[in-house]
Amino acid sequence: MKVNICLIGKGNVGSSLLQLLLEKKEYLKRKFNLKLIVCSILEKDGALINSSGIDLKEVIDAKDDFRNLPYWESDLGLVHSLSELEISICIETTPTNPKTGEPGLSHIIQALENYIDVVSSNKGPFYLQYEKIMNLAKQNKRYIMFEATVASCIPALKIKDVLVGNEIQGIKAILNGTSNFILSRMTAEGLKFSLALKEAQELGFAEADPTLDIEGYDAAGKLVILANELLGWSKSINDVRIEGISNITSHAIELADTDGYVIKHLAIAENNELIVEPRLIDKHSSLNINGNLNAVELETKYAGPILLMGRGAGGFEAASAILNDLIDISIKRGYTK
Amino acid sequence: MISLEVKIPDTPGSLIELIKPISNNGGNIYGILHFHDRKTNNMIPVNISFELSESIQEVSLNKIKNELKERSIQIEKISYGIEKKLLTVLLTGHVFDTDVMDTIKRLASKDISVLELHAKFTDLKEYSNVKLKIEFPEEMNKKELTDELRKICKEKNLLLITS
């Protein structure tokens, strides 16, 4: 079945998704009888619009020059796409303003208000206005899926669907690859924090301004989403006690080592509390993962700890999580029949 | 932890008679001490330590006392021992300049003991790093302990890293 979709944000994740949709086109048709038609690709200054489907290869080949394509229309916003193009699923991948959740928050609300299902990789709206978004989706009987917001392709949110017979009671996680990379390098090589950060920036694992990562705000946002989804809480980022890693010294790491500990930047949800802070963990702990990996350990009532681990960032990693959500919604809506 | 001091006859099977009421009523036995050197009138003093979960403690202890009485085992003394718990923490900041002895004394005033202190620092102007091994009472939970530590660290602008 043909399903019209629109993509908001043609950054790294958005572009990777277009590539993935092109690569998976035949597979989706064969396996799910599903034809995902991208009718609009919105950017902040306009949109690529084609009601019968945009040629994805043409857009991918154009790279940053996509605004020169004949079907680019300046100053066209989301409202036009939603009202004119019979969109069934809207994909939101714009960068997050960590204080307001905009512009993603408005996009998601607009889509839901127009009775359109939403897939998002944009975490800001969810750690700031989770309840509002979920209530609107419920009220308008829309699906909203956002697996890519937490640990990218690791199925940290979807796992609740396969643990329905169990009960998740707590979460301990490493949710920021940058801070984990820095601490791993400090531990392995005895590097100072500033040197490890510089190395992370040179390798592309840290932003030029790494504040959100090293001070714990990025992990805190993801933790809120995890706790709300898996534990049924209704928290926002303002409920998280946050401590960063910028004051960790190589001496502190050496002292920890003499007792068999390593220092990790943990995100913890337990006893109705949300915490992101450096913690001492046993060297042999399953959470002692190195490099820029993410890990999520769920404490379950009937099976003890369950560990998920993998790459928590990257364009194709997030795009694959978005595609999972698109397929999931398509199955639930009966588009695959 | 509950500790019972009793006297039992120095005859085969007496110890089983002491253990049964405790294990039958949910007691988790930690240790038994016989004092053969203090035997009088063929009665041996025995000290038995066990734990009962908090929710059943009062009811179970009463049952244990009654069942021991039915078996003619006389309880000399009951004591509720305090078991200490341990935690390792790191403090980073101007730990010495902000009076580390004051930090230790303030913890001691809450029955929290610093058993070991290890320090690493390069320069008096730089941050120092201190590892503390802390013992805290059984009735105090880890959160209460870390809340107390956090309060002091916030006041002294120290980074606290707990295990």
CATH number of the domain that residue A186 is part of: 3.30.360.10
Q: What is the ipTM of this complex?
A: 0.86
Domain-terminating residue out of B43, B58, B80: B80
The chain B residue lying nearest A246, using CA atoms, is B159
The separation between CA A239 and the C-alpha centre of its own chain, rounded to angstroms, equals 20
Q: Contact at 8 Å (CB) between B148 and B155? A: no
Residues A140 and A90 in one domain: yes
Q: Are A247 and B131 inside 8 Å of each other by CB?
A: no
Count of alpha carbons within 13 Å of B100, Cβ hemisphere only? 18
Domain that holds residue B102: 85-162
Q: Are A280 and B161 inside 8 Å of each other by CB?
A: yes
Question: What pLDDT score was predicted for residue A194?
Answer: 95
Residue A77: is its pLDDT beyond 80? no
| Residues in chain A, overall count | 337
Domain count, chain A: 2
- pLDDT of B125-158, one tens digit each? 889 999 999 999 888 999 999 999 999 999 999 9
Residues A8 and A31 in one domain: yes
Q: Which of B118, B122, B128, B131 to mutate to test the interface with A (most CBs of A within 10 A)?
A: B131
The chain A residue lying nearest B129, using CA atoms, is A252
Residue A223: is its pLDDT beyond 90? yes
Residue predicted with more confidence, B93 or B30? B93
Residues A29 and A76 in one domain: yes
Determine the residue type at A282: D
Distances (CA, A) of B137 to A104, A204, B74: 50, 48, 30
Question: What pLDDT score was predicted for residue B84?
Answer: 66
Question: What pLDDT score was predicted for residue B83?
Answer: 59
What is the mean pLDDT of the segment spanning A152-167? 95
Question: What pLDDT score was predicted for residue A232?
Answer: 95
Which residue among A248, A251, A280 places its CB closest to the CB of B88? A280
Q: Contact at 8 Å (CB) between A321 and A148? A: yes
Residues B63 and B101 in one domain: no
Q: Contact at 8 Å (CB) between A121 and A313? A: no
Interface contact A271, partner B, CB < 8 A: yes
Residues A185 and A226 in one domain: yes
Residues B62 and B109 in one domain: no
Confidence category of residue A15, pLDDT binned at 50, 70, 90:
very high
Confidence category of residue A301, pLDDT binned at 50, 70, 90:
very high
Confidence category of residue B40, pLDDT binned at 50, 70, 90:
confident
CATH number at residue B154: 3.30.70.260
Residues B74 and B144 in one domain: no
Residues B97 and B157 in one domain: yes
Question: What pLDDT score was predicted for residue B57?
Answer: 78
Domain that holds residue A262: 159-310
Question: What pLDDT score was predicted for residue B81?
Answer: 66
Please give the Cα distance from A116 to A137 (Å, whole number): 9
pTM: 0.81
Reference A222, options A315, A313, A110, A119; nearest CA is: A313
Confidence category of residue A256, pLDDT binned at 50, 70, 90:
very high
Domain-terminating residue out of B80, B95, B114: B80
Low-confidence winner among A36-45, A265-274, B39-48 (lowest mean pLDDT): B39-48
CATH number at residue A52: 3.40.50.720
If DSSP codes are grouped into helix, strand and coil, which group holds residue A190?
Answer: coil
Residues B29 and B98 in one domain: no
Domain count, chain B: 2
Question: What pLDDT score was predicted for residue B11?
Answer: 87
Residues B68 and B6 in one domain: yes
Please give the Cα distance from B72 to B70 (Å, whole number): 5
Q: Contact at 8 Å (CB) between A211 and A305? A: no
Residue A123: is its pLDDT beyond 70? yes
* Structure tokens that stand for B26 in this block: 């949910």
Residues B96 and B150 in one domain: yes
Residues B38 and B72 in one domain: yes
What is the mean pLDDT of the segment spanning B53-78? 85
Q: Which of A280, A284, A287 to mutate to test the interface with B (most CBs of B within 10 A)?
A: A280
